[in-house]
Amino acid sequence: MGAHEGRVVIVTGAASGIGRATAERVEAEGGSVVAVDLDADQLAWTSAHPRIELLAGDITEEPVNDAAVALAVEKFGGVDGAVFNAGIPTSGDLLTLPLEKFDRVMEVNVRAVLLGIRAVVPAMRQRGTGGAIAITASTSGMAADPNMWPYNTSKAAVINLMRGAALDLGPLGIRVNAVAPGPTESGMTTRLLENNEAYEGLRRRTALQRWGTSEEVAAVLSFLVSPDSSIVTGALVPADSGISANTGQFLPNEKP
Ligand SMILES: NC(=O)c1ccc[n+]([C@@H]2O[C@H](COP(=O)([O-])OP(=O)(O)OC[C@H]3O[C@@H](n4cnc5c(N)ncnc54)[C@H](O)[C@@H]3O)[C@@H](O)[C@H]2O)c1
């Protein structure tokens, strides 16, 4: 029996990369999924999956979060888990980047996660089986990267949102955790995958001397919203080839 047998999980940012891999993983483990992303065309892959329903919409809008919950209840009978994974990168000059860009990355990477939590908790309480939320944070929320302060700020904020939510929802039996991916092959990193120098530079900084795949990160997210992690809450789990284990002062050894 799969870890998600009979369970229903909402996954945001499910058109590509880590979100799509998570939706597929949950379904493969017996669950049903509401897959949310901006564009219905990009979610067309779900049509081959009978237990995955798509919802096109912008998660920064409150009604979209409510619609995801309503769809999960209507099609599958409730909500047991939510993976708030949608995110955008933003970088730029600290002194001149237009404030709208900073506001947008905070809106997508932080505020929308709060909207998602507020939308799913009543449904999870109604279901009466507890509930589990996992957030895709980043190693870029554990420390900073040159020029990437907007993204760093948003991911650090969502890590502490996760901790606060874990404390406040714990008494209701609802768990909240986050995953911190390192360099991961996905839609977001396509540009880096095409630039050998950037790809290699990141690879060399990892302990495992390799990038992660979206499927490897999805396995951790799936675990965190499954009953297998029933005693885990308030945790940030790096899924990062060991990049966050390094102080950054020295490069790890190369493969022998
Ligand atoms: N790829 C990496 O190396 C890496 C590393 C650390 C963290 N992350 C995080 O992983 C998460 C998933 O990203 P990915 O790497 O799979 O990239 P991706 O670009 O393949 O997927 C992100 C998805 O989020 C969707 N999205 C963005 N804004 C949205 C909105 N407002 N409403 C609905 N959907 C929206 C996009 O359309 C896209 O399909 C993100 O939160 C990202 O910050 C990625």
CATH number of the domain at 28, please: 3.40.50.720
Does some domain include residue 181? yes
pTM of the model: 0.98
**Site to substitute for ligand 1 among 34, 41, 188, 224, most atoms within 8 A of C-beta:** 188
Euclidean distance between CA atoms 37 and 44, whole angstroms: 11
Tokens 């979206």: give the residue: 214
Give the pLDDT confidence score for residue 187 in this predicted structure.
87
**Structural domain includes residue 255:** no
pLDDT of residue 1 exceeding 80, the answer is: no
Q: How far is the CA of 45 from the centre of ligand 1 (A)?
A: 17
**Domain annotation covers residue 2:** no
Residue 100 lies in a domain: yes
Residue 252 is given by DSSP the state: P
Question: Angle at CA 34, nearest 5°, toward 31 and 35?
Answer: 115
Rounded Cα gap, residues 200 and 249, in angstroms: 17
- Which of the four pLDDT bands, split at 50, 70 and 90, describes residue 129? confident
**Which of 88, 91, 139 maximizes ligand 1 atoms within 8 Å of its Cβ, making it the mutation to test the pocket?**
88
- Kindly list the catalytic residues: 151
Q: Is residue 156 part of a domain?
A: yes
63 part of a folded domain:
yes
- Residue pLDDT, tens place only, 62-119: 999 999 999 999 999 999 999 999 999 999 999 999 999 999 999 999 999 999 999 9
Question: For the chain, what is the domain count?
Answer: 1
**DSSP one-letter string for 170-210:** GGGTEEEEEEEE-SEESGGGHHHHH-HHHHHHHHHHSSSSS
Range of the domain at 86: 8-239
Within a domain: 1: no
* Burial of 194: CB neighbours in 10 Å, binned 0-12, 13-18, 19+: exposed
Question: How sure is the predictor about 202, in pLDDT bands with cuts at 50, 70 and 90?
Answer: very high
- In a domain? residue 27: yes
CB 15 within 8 A of CB 37: yes
Pocket lining: 21 vs ligand 1, CB cutoff 6 Å: no
